[in-house]
């Protein structure tokens, strides 16, 4: 078992799209994914995966660039902006909404909220143009972190050639944290359990775990399920299932957490 305090993390900052700079999303046909997430039903929905970008030659629809990929609001009447740029050759219609974000185990749940509003909520973006969407805080300041998700949905375009056909449209969820600076740092506890690697957060801030790798004493990588981008909120724990678990003995953990790299050894299961 190892305990980490967020303010004790050391490591180099990783400037990637996952870290919150910008991302280019290609909006096309059914190959892009499923229509699940807050827009369909905010209650109990898990965050859908971000669709993989196709090559430009294969793109039939618009191309949406979103920046930043993480928003923080602190203070009374705080506001931030999202930049939605259409780099494609066709007009793009998008809807932007804000949902309160809660977590139980590995399950993300979303609820309608008016503590932060998006303005404008619906925008038509011509080719080559950029739409600024403001995130406006309406709620009062608190002494704890309040997590939200900004849902950006592609809406049907009546002028598009495939408008009358069944087409899957892209949905993207941007994390937003309100009053994060007022909250206590995250405090993580790692355990090697029979089911895999468990991480619990007894601190006050959500942590973003971009990746996790587990090696045995011989330096061989052990298969870990769901090792991609995940969040662990305050008061919550999450499990990374691992084949062999306790039979592997002491293991080496290598993980990217927020802006830090973790490299440590976990003792065998107790």
- 165 class by beta-carbon count within 10 Å (0-12 exposed, 13-18 middle, 19+ buried): exposed
CA angle 238, 67, 133 (to 5 degrees): 105
The answer, yes or no, to whether residue 99 has pLDDT greater than 90, is yes
Residues with Cβ within 8 Å of residue 176, at least 6 apart in sequence: 70, 71, 72, 73, 98, 116, 135, 147, 148, 149, 150
pLDDT single digits (tens) 140-197: 889 999 999 999 998 887 666 655 444 556 788 999 999 999 999 999 999 988 889 9
Dist CA 126 CA 136 (whole Å)? 24
Give the pair of three-digit tokens for residue 37.
């997430």
Question: Burial, 57: exposed, middle or buried (Cβ in 10 Å; 0-12, 13-18, 19+)?
Answer: exposed
Neighbours of 77 (CB within 10 A): 9
Per-position b or e across 95-116, b if 16+ CB within 10 A of its CB: bbbbbbbebeeeebbbeebeeb
pLDDT digits (tens, 9 = 90+) for 194-215: 889 999 999 999 999 999 999 9
Q: If you average pLDDT over residues 229-240, what whole number do you get?
A: 93
> Is the CATH code 2.60.40.10 the one for domain 12-182?
yes
Give the per-residue pLDDT at 227: 80
In angstroms, the first-to-last Cα distance of the chain is: 9
Q: Where are the domains of the chain?
A: 12-182, 187-266
CATH 2.60.40.10 for domain 187-266, yes or no, is yes
pLDDT above 60 (res 112): yes
What are the structure tokens assigned to 55, written together? Answer: 């090559």
Domains 12-182 and 187-266 share a fold: yes
């Amino acid at each position: 078992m190892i305990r980490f305090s967020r303010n004790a993390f050391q490591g180099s900052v990783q400037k990637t799209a996952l870290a919150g700079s910008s991302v280019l999303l290609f909006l096309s046909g059914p190959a892009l994914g499923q229509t699940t997430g807050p827009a369909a039903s905010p209650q109990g929905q898990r965050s859908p995966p971000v669709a993989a970008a196709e090559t430009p030659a294969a793109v039939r629809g618009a191309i949406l660039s979103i920046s930043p990929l993480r928003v923080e609001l602190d203070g009374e009447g705080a506001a931030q902006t999202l930049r939605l740029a259409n780099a494609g050759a066709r007009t793009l219609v998008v809807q932007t909404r804000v949902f309160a974000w809660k977590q139980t185990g590995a399950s993300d749940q979303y609820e309608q909220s008016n503590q932060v509003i998006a303005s404008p909520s619906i925008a038509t973006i011509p080719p080559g143009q950029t739409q600024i969407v403001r995130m406006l805080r309406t709620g009062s300041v608190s002494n704890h972190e309040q997590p939200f998700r900004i849902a950006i949905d592609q809406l049907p375009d009546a002028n598009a050639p495939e408008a009358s056909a069944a087409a899957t449209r892209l949905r993207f969820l941007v994390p937003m944290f309100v009053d994060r600076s007022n909250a206590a740092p995250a405090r993580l506890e790692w355990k090697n359990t029979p089911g895999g690697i468990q991480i619990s957060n007894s601190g006050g801030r959500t942590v973003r775990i971009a990746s996790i790798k587990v090696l045995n004493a011989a330096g061989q990588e052990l298969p870990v399920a769901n090792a991609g981008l995940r969040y662990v909120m305050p008061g919550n724990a999450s499990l990374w299932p691992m084949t062999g678990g306790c039979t592997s003995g002491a293991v080496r953990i290598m993980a990217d957490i927020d802006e830090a790299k973790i490299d440590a050894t976990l003792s065998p299961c107790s």
